[in-house]
Amino acid sequence: MGNSMDHSGKKGIMFLVMLFILFLMPFAGRTVFAAGQEGENEEVRTSEAIGWKDYNGKGTGASNEKELSPEIVPGGGVYGKLAELKGKKVGVQTGTYFDTLAAETIGEVDITYFSTLADLTVALKTGKIDAFIVEEPSIRDVMKEDNMLTYIPEYLEEMQYGVVFPKNDRGMSLKQEFDAYLLKKKEDGSLREISDIWFSDDESIKVGEDYSSLPAEKGMLSVASEVAYPPFEYMKDGRAVGFDIDIVAKFCKEYGYGLSVVNMDFNGVLPAVQSGKCDLAVSAVTITEERAESVYFSEPYYDSRTIAVVLRKDPVADASFLSKIISSFEKTFIRENRYQLFLEGILTTVVITVASILLGTILGFLVYMLCRNGGVIPNRAADFFVWLIQGMPVVVLLMILYYVIFAKSSIDGAVVSVIAFTLVFGVAVFGMLKMGVGAVDVGQKEAAYALGFSDMRTFFRIILPQAIPHFLPSYKAEVISLIKATAVVGYIAVQDLTKMGDIVRGRTYEAFFPLIAVAIIYFILGGILTAAVSRIEISTNPKKRSEAEILKGVKTDD
Asked if the domains at 74-159+305-312 and 164-284 fall in one CATH topology, the answer is yes
Contact present, 161 and 304 (Cβ < 8 Å): yes
550: left (phi over 0), alpha (psi -120 to 50) or beta: alpha
Higher pLDDT, 548 or 109: 109
pLDDT higher at 537 or 397: 397
Residue 512's contacts (CB-CB under 8 Å, 6 or more residues apart) are 328
Q: What is the pTM of this model?
A: 0.74
At 224, which helix (H) or strand (E)?
A: strand 220-225
Taking the mean position of all CA atoms in its chain, how far away is CA 17?
50
In angstroms, rounded to a whole number, what is the distance separating the alpha carbons of residues 130 and 111?
A: 10
**Residue 173 amino acid letter:** S
The one-letter amino acid at 137: P
Domain extent listing, the chain: 74-159+305-312, 164-284, 339-545
**554 band by pLDDT with thresholds 50, 70 and 90:** low
> According to the model, what pLDDT value does residue 62 have?
32
C-alpha 379/C-alpha 382 separation (Å) is 5
Superfamily of domain 339-545: MetI-like (1.10.3720.10)
* CATH code, residues 74-159+305-312: 3.40.190.10
- pLDDT band per the 50, 70, 90 thresholds, residue 314: confident
Q: Residue 45: its pLDDT value, please?
A: 39
Do the strands 239-241 and 234-236 form a parallel or antiparallel pair, or are they unpaired? antiparallel
Lowest mean pLDDT among 78-87, 159-168, 404-413, 414-423: 404-413
CATH architecture of 164-284: 3-Layer(aba) Sandwich (3.40)
Higher pLDDT, 355 or 96: 355
Query: Over the stretch 210-261, which tens digit does the pLDDT of each residue have?
Result: 998 898 899 999 999 999 888 899 988 888 999 999 999 999 999 999 999 9
Q: Which of 81, 111, 85 is nearest to 98 (CA)?
A: 111
Contacts of 405 (CB under 8 A, 6+ apart): none
Q: Facing residues of 41 across strands?
A: 35
Res 391: pLDDT = 92
Say what the pLDDT of residue 549 is: 63
